[in-house]
Structure 1
Amino acid sequence: MGIIRAVPDLERVVGERPLPVMMKSIDHLDPHCLALLAHSPAAVLGYVDAGGRQRAELVGGAPGFAAAETRSRLRLPVPPSAAPGAGAALLVLVPGWRETLRINGTLAEDGLLVEEAFLHCGKAVIRSNLWGPASVPDDAVEEESVLGPAAAAFLAAAPFAVVTSRDGAGRADASPKGDPPGVARVIGPATVALADRPGNRRTDTFHNVVERPEAAVLAVVPGDARTLEITGKAVISTEAGLRESMTERNRTPKAVLKVEIETVRLARNSALRDSGLWDPARHVDPGDLPRSSRIWTDHVKLNETAGAAAKLVRAGANERLLRAGLDQDYRKNL
């Protein structure tokens, strides 16, 4: 079995992180971020609990639940189990919209101190059909150290998940994953696997896991007001048989994230229930939001990375070209 344990080995498999991709992030909340936050009724928060364990929880309940007090401070509901002062990350969902907003920083008692914000491409949402027809919800709950029957059934139906992790310095990330139902594959009573699909090419989760081998996974099923949280030790596998078993759309992943389960919690989530994420009548009209291509273009120009190469990237940022490339990428590179 091939396990990746070092960044050079990781980048030989999945590629290096391109400068133009990394320059799509900014270190504050700009007007585009504020517009998306105003329309978002829910987000997945990755945080560290009082016991030092990586966690993930869906928070929110109504549009505007996360409000910017300043351009570097976001007020939002913080789980009682969270440990303020540790790295935390937010994956912001806008109902009906394919892109997601990622905000990383340090957790405060009443919110998040913002250190990084960027727009994530819509491929995970598209692959998962997250805003499509809702399933018939169930009400079974479980809390175990292995996958029980209710959790396994929920996971088999879940097309969308968010993986939260931290690097060696404690910087946090929350990354979306999307596939047909079964986005997190059960490969044993205490192990799940998630494929590395085409995305924004930052590979944050993999870089984090190389440095700090732990993760939390939060899975959702459209139409269901429950969430499934899995926490545990994480590794990156290049095992051929596992990768080939996770082929989708004739594409075999280059690497797979394996999580050795320590805790499983399938529970009703009041924020998800109240948010109306699965109600088509509450989906946001894309015309009420800034264009994703405009956001990326503006964020590249706002990025303060130094050097001649970065200067060229900023000068070359062109929304029209980016929009054309994005449309083609969404059609051909899912």
Structure 2
Amino acid sequence: MNNPFKEILTSEDDIRDLLGYPSELVKKKVIKCLDIHCRNFISLSPLLFLATSDEQGFCDVSPRGDAPGSVIVIDEKHLVIPERPGNRRIDSLRNILSNPRVGIIFIIPGLEETLRINGQAFVIKDEKILDLMKAKDKKPTLGIGVKVEECFIHCAKAFKRSGVWESKSWPEENTLPLIPTILSDHVNSTEFTVEVIRKGLQESYEKRLY
């Protein structure tokens, strides 16, 4: 298949010529530890996105949602994300084993700025730490420990442009994608009909969140 992109930039200088350089505030806002502000932000965040890649550079971004306070801050350089039950693809965990570099975005509902953290991750099984992350009386089997290297606030422009917190901008419910239909078409197997997948998803969401 021919590449449809005809004007590809291949150097930072070319990009800088068009977009310019960051302001002094942007250059100086990065800190190297979890200060009181970062800790407070994390304690209020029920949703994060974890970016990983393997040793070949193949990438994955995984949403992680839980009650606020579920991510544990150990000290000013370390935090732990609980590994709750999922689909067992373990994309993030496999990537961390081969390439520990991770990027995280923490989100607080209604707040348009986000907290970004970059660092080095580890798959951990420290029982004392996992005990702190029990939910519904269930302890996570594993956790993702992160050694923090960079923390900074990301501006609100993406959320302002998207209007994601403004309910008037949301699509009508009857126009939303039908997930069981999509999955059935993608799997393309008579074994996994729309109804089979719908029931399986419902059971998973009701019985296997923790």
TM-score range, shorter chain: 0.7 to 0.9
Asked whether the equivalents of residues 34 and 75 of structure 2 are also in contact (C-alpha less than 8 Å), the reply is no
Q: After superposition, where does 1:22-37 map in structure 2 within 5 Å?
A: none
Q: Which residue does the alignment assign to 1:236? A: 123
Q: Which residue does the alignment assign to 1:261? A: 148
- Is the aligned partner of 1:155 residue 2:42? yes
User: Which structure's residues are more often strand, by fraction?
Assistant: 1
Q: After superposition, where does 1:167-178 map in structure 2 within 5 Å?
A: 167-178=54-65
Q: Which residue does the alignment assign to 1:287? A: 174
Q: Distance in 2 between matches of 1:185 and 1:242?
A: 8
Unmatched tracts of structure 1, length 5 or more: 1-69, 75-79, 85-140, 302-313
Equivalent position to 2:51, from 146, 158, 164: 164
Q: Distance in 2 between matches of 1:320 and 1:183?
A: 34
Q: Which residue does the alignment assign to 1:189? A: 76
Structure 1 residue 164: Cα displacement: 0.3
1:149-199 Cα distance to aligned partner (Å, 9 max, x none): 222211111100000010111100000000111243211110111011122
Pairs aligned (count): 189
Give every structure 1 segment of 4 or more consecutive aligned residues whose post-TM-superposition deviation is greater than 3 Å: none
TM-score, normalization by structure 2? 0.83
TM-score, normalization by structure 1? 0.53
Corresponding letter in the other structure for 1:145: K
Q: Which residue does the alignment assign to 1:224? A: 111
Unmatched tracts of structure 2, length 5 or more: 6-10, 16-27
Q: Distance in 2 between matches of 1:315 and 1:328?
A: 20
1:3-43 Cα distance to aligned partner (Å, 9 max, x none): xxxxxxxxxxxxxxxxxxxxxxxxxxxxxxxxxxxxxxxxx
1:49-74 Cα distance to aligned partner (Å, 9 max, x none): xxxxxxxxxxxxxxxxxxxxx9x989
Structure 1 residue 224: Cα displacement: 0.4
Superposed CA RMSD: 2.4
Whichever of the two has the greater Rg, that structure is: 2
Equivalent position to 2:165, from 263, 278, 297: 278
Equivalent position to 1:326, from 189, 201, 207: 201
| Matched residue SS, 1:274 | helix
Q: Distance in 2 between matches of 1:73 and 1:246?
A: 47
Q: Which residue does the alignment assign to 1:61? A: none
Equivalent position to 1:201, from 88, 96, 101: 88
Q: Distance in 1 between matches of 2:151 and 2:4?
A: 31
Corresponding letter in the other structure for 2:48: A
User: Which structure's residues are more often helix, by fraction?
Assistant: 2
Asked whether the equivalents of residues 161 and 183 of structure 1 are also in contact (C-alpha less than 8 Å), the reply is no
Identity %: 26
Asked whether the equivalents of residues 213 and 233 of structure 1 are also in contact (C-alpha less than 8 Å), the reply is yes
Q: Distance in 2 between matches of 1:270 and 1:228?
A: 14
